[in-house]
Structure 1
């Protein structure tokens, strides 16, 4: 499990001070969806090993962002909000993350200074849109991890695309009328499936973010081995990818999901499907199914 992997990084520290809590600092990405997923993941880690405590840093996107969350998500997690950038600033998640890096760094250093011998920092977890902050972990002498909110197949695919660009010099935008052999899948995938993504002007920005995943000590992915065994096993074929640790499923089954105006329609449609149907479930922008 991911908690065991992280704990092993600081096993010596734990022996030296058995009473100390092991503090994980989680840097979320701007936007409520990724923040909710980060909170759910943090609670999952705490439940797996009570020696951990977690502080989540939230770089807010707008001054009007709602900081109210379901009690079960925040009752065991310390929470730090950072003031948003000016209203006139570009709200692209990668640009916001870059502009907030120094503010996040200041908060991390403050947390470390105030941690004390009974609450020792043992790791820094950054959201997939905040991988530019991995080097903050080096500054406080703890290992860094990336939390990838999607599944293992998606993670392996984007890392494959990044490797095609940087190691083989391929430009995926040049030809979408072909098939791509991705290690994530047993059969080739049509390039047209990612045409919309790579036709946008920010594709290289995202690939640059994914490239930094390889600098981390490990990647926490929202998956379970029973669900994506092929994709999880495929990471072993690339020695430049750090260990991938499944921490899923990160799912919140109560609260805001049921407030969605389409919730009843979706549930009715699902109930009407014949038995043994195959239904594809996708993590949505609300941070859960």
Structure 2
């Protein structure tokens, strides 16, 4: 019998005694990091298909996050098709088997019918998004690193400028629009806010760089599951970034945008790679 806690029979509870991913969550947004840790543990096979996650209290203690945060992270991964909850004496939260997952439907391929978005299962979305991340390869990490540099720089530069009344109004209008929760328009409104912040920097070169990185990440950002807690947190971060810019606080605007980019990167790398 293995003693490292990595192998167990399907349906049995998983021993977490030697799980390096169950280390305490430090820095950043606890919810996003917890989602990333759980997703990576599943993808690395450290919690195999059909296995049960450690008990909620145990896992929350190991990660040193609140049980509310852990529950929300687990709910997000249920919605994304990674986990399922079962009731009863042998119940708990189990890793979903990928067997029987419908193949991703590439757009525009001859001979294939488009699949209505409403009919695509979480597992199918998860597969399509993971395929897209693999297609990007090193481009994904490069884009995230590039974004981590240019977007905080743009926010800081925007906060250092004396913005005109029209520029300030445009930022506020884009911020208001970015709170839209309609799936068909949310992603576009989010991008427009980031482009408005870059535009407020007064640097056409920087604005063009942000537009490039937004375009590169757009399909991936649209592919990750819609997680209400993440949307709430993103809306709050957007508001604080714009407030810092309007208040003329370059250091605050830069720091808040860095935190925002880091949180997005955590979710993308956790869910898609």
TM-score class, shorter-chain normalisation, is: under 0.3
TM-score by length of 2: 0.26
The TM-score, its normalising length taken from structure 1, stands at 0.25
Which structure's residues are more often helix, by fraction?
2
Q: Relative contact order (C-alpha < 8 Å, sep 6+): which is higher?
A: 2
The structure with the greater share of residues assigned to strand is 1
